[in-house]
Structure 1
Amino acid sequence: MLTRLLSATALALVVGGPVAAFDMSAMSAEERDALRSEIRAYLLDNPEVLMEAIQVLESRQADQQAADDIALLQVNADALLNDPTSWVGGNPDGDVTIVEFLDYRCGYCKRAHPEVAELIASDGNIRLIVKEFPILGEESVQASRFALAVREVGGDEAYKAVNDGLMTMRGQISERSLRAMASDQGLDADAVMAAMSSEAVQRIIAQNRALGQRLSISGTPSFVFGDQMVRGYVPLDAMREIIAEERG
């Protein structure tokens, strides 16, 4: 009986199912102690069983996360795809939409920025939506408010220019540096600074944060590719593979 129970237990470790053929409560204390010793010895002799069990568990968790993400994206599709307060680039009629949650102080966002730009330029059939998602401190909030204020004052082209500028910026984000950037774009810096504190700008950031919370987004960059969510940096080749999957 002990050998059969041990085999069933090892199988359960791999497939993740219960050992239904045996009633553990019916075993004596001596039998339970012997079982524990045998299981320990078996696992020490066959550690690959644990690795197989872990792989099965991780695969099931990944599948469940993907299913949960699809449900979340469906529920929040309108806020993700049809929000007029979010800047839209690339091909507005593209067959695949990418939504990017970004923070201008995020090193991985800066790393992803030229790769996203290359993907959009080389593909030609991708719609890009940017969600301002400042989570790395006051400078991040200041930068996002500035970008949104620039869009309010100067329109989409000016927003794109400062979005690029903030992503490549290496110095401190301050009122002085932001005023200089606004002036470089031919904008009224005073008007932009005033718009940074507007209710509209603050509401957009609050809405994006609430959306991120609903989608379980806690870091940047985070991406939505069609019906797939990727939390974290994605290299260009991987982005292209995901886009091909979406089209497939």
Structure 2
Amino acid sequence: MTPRARRAALAATCLLLAAVVLPLGWAWTLGTESARAAGVIVDERDKQVLTPRALAKTGTGVVTGNPQGDVTLVEYFDYQCPVCRRVHPDVRALAADDGNIRVIHKHWPIFGDASVAAAKLALAAHWQGPEVYDAVHHALMTLSGRLTEDGVREAAAEAGLDLDRADADLVGRADDVAARLQGVASEAAQMGLRGTPVFLVGSYFLPGGPDREALETLVEGVRKGEDRL
């Protein structure tokens, strides 16, 4: 198969997955430019281009996995999103087993106050070190049912978060926290996102809940340079 044919096949697979795995109830309004597998995302209001590389450098996300990885996976998520929870084990396992993927978590709490509280505690965990953040992120992502602020705090503490330090950081760094969350929300608005999760793998754009095989296919495509038009 020629490189052009492989790109076309992978693009078709990506778009098919995007159509199939969307959670029921979400009304996605993705334009052709946003949905195609290998392209840039354009804000039609001010004509500024948000490329996947640019989104990875905005400073609104938390870098996990291998910070020097040769492939970047960006995930927009909410800790209360059932599809985010479902795909979390695959994302986590892929990053761990591959060892060369840089994962950037974009906290986009869209399911209410408890989601916001969870996102803020995760950011506080980030300031306590990567191991604490990873443990807290995993704990929050594996909670079941509707989140409560007390439940979120309990799970984070059990995962190793120093709550007193976290509370102090969230007060002292309130402007930073607000800027990060608002920045992610702004990115999502510019891309026309309507729900979580959304993945960017290299230059591939994939809304919905891909399984590990789908993510591995996109990672392989990036490494082959097939995520470029």
TM-score, shorter chain, exceeding 0.5: yes
Question: Structure 1 residues 70 and 167 mapped into 2: Cα distance closer, same or farther (>3 Å)?
Answer: same
Map 1:2-41 onto structure 2 (within 5 A).
none
| Residues 1:169 and 2:143 aligned together | yes
Comparing both chains, which one has the higher relative contact order based on Cα–Cα distances under 8 Å and sequence gaps of 6 or more? 2
Q: Tell me how far apart the structure 2 counterparts of residues 201 and 136 of structure 1 sit (CA, whole Å).
A: 18
Other-structure match for 1:108: 83
Other-structure match for 1:225: 201
**Deviation above 6 Å: which 4+ runs of structure 1?**
none
Other-structure match for 1:143: 118
For the 8 Å contact 2:196–2:207, the answer to whether it is kept is yes
Other-structure match for 2:134: 160
Query: Counterpart amino acid of 1:91?
Result: N
Q: Tell me how far apart the structure 1 counterparts of residues 92 and 201 of structure 2 sit (CA, whole Å).
A: 15
Question: Structure 1 residues 118 and 139 mapped into 2: Cα distance closer, same or farther (>3 Å)?
Answer: same
For the 8 Å contact 1:179–1:193, the answer to whether it is kept is no
Query: Counterpart amino acid of 1:102?
Result: F
Q: Tell me how far apart the structure 2 counterparts of residues 237 and 91 of structure 1 sit (CA, whole Å).
A: 20
Query: Counterpart amino acid of 1:101?
Result: Y
Gaps of 5+ in 1: 1-57
Other-structure match for 2:40: 71
User: How many Å apart are 1:68 and its aligned residue?
Assistant: 9.4
User: How many Å apart are 1:155 and its aligned residue?
Assistant: 2.4
User: How many Å apart are 1:214 and its aligned residue?
Assistant: 1.1
User: How many Å apart are 1:112 and its aligned residue?
Assistant: 0.6
Map 1:53-68 onto structure 2 (within 5 A).
64-66=33-35
User: How many Å apart are 1:182 and its aligned residue?
Assistant: 4.2
Aligned-residue identity in percent: 36
For the 8 Å contact 2:75–2:197, the answer to whether it is kept is yes
CA-based RMSD of the aligned residues comes to: 2.7
Which string of whole-angstrom CA distances, capped at 9 and with x for unpartnered residues, describes residues 21-58 of structure 1?
xxxxxxxxxxxxxxxxxxxxxxxxxxxxxxxxxxxxx9
Query: Counterpart amino acid of 1:233?
Result: G
Other-structure match for 1:80: 55
Task: Give the TM-score normalised by structure 2.
Answer: 0.72
| Residues 1:239 and 2:215 aligned together | yes
Q: Tell me how far apart the structure 2 counterparts of residues 199 and 150 of structure 1 sit (CA, whole Å).
A: 17
Q: Give the greater-gyration-radius structure (CA).
A: 1
Q: Give the secondary-structure state (helix, strand or coil) at the position aligned to 1:229.
A: strand
Q: State which of 104, 110, 120 in structure 2 corresponds to 1:129.
A: 104
User: How many Å apart are 1:62 and its aligned residue?
Assistant: 8.3
Q: Give the secondary-structure state (helix, strand or coil) at the position aligned to 1:70.
A: coil
Q: Tell me how far apart the structure 1 counterparts of residues 208 and 67 of structure 2 sit (CA, whole Å).
A: 24
User: How many Å apart are 1:149 and its aligned residue?
Assistant: 2.0
Which string of whole-angstrom CA distances, capped at 9 and with x for unpartnered residues, describes residues 93-141 of structure 1?
2221100001000111001100001111222221111100111122211
Gaps of 5+ in 2: 1-18, 20-29, 43-47, 225-229
Q: How many equivalent residue pairs?
A: 188
User: How many Å apart are 1:191 and its aligned residue?
Assistant: 3.1
Query: Counterpart amino acid of 1:104?
Result: Y
Task: Give the TM-score normalised by structure 1.
Answer: 0.67
Q: Tell me how far apart the structure 2 counterparts of residues 63 and 90 of structure 1 sit (CA, whole Å).
A: 31
Question: Structure 1 residues 69 and 210 mapped into 2: Cα distance closer, same or farther (>3 Å)?
Answer: farther
Question: Structure 1 residues 149 and 79 mapped into 2: Cα distance closer, same or farther (>3 Å)?
Answer: farther
Larger displacement relative to structure 2 (96-105 or 164-173): 164-173
Q: Tell me how far apart the structure 2 counterparts of residues 76 and 63 of structure 1 sit (CA, whole Å).
A: 15
Q: More helix by proportion, 1 or 2?
A: 1
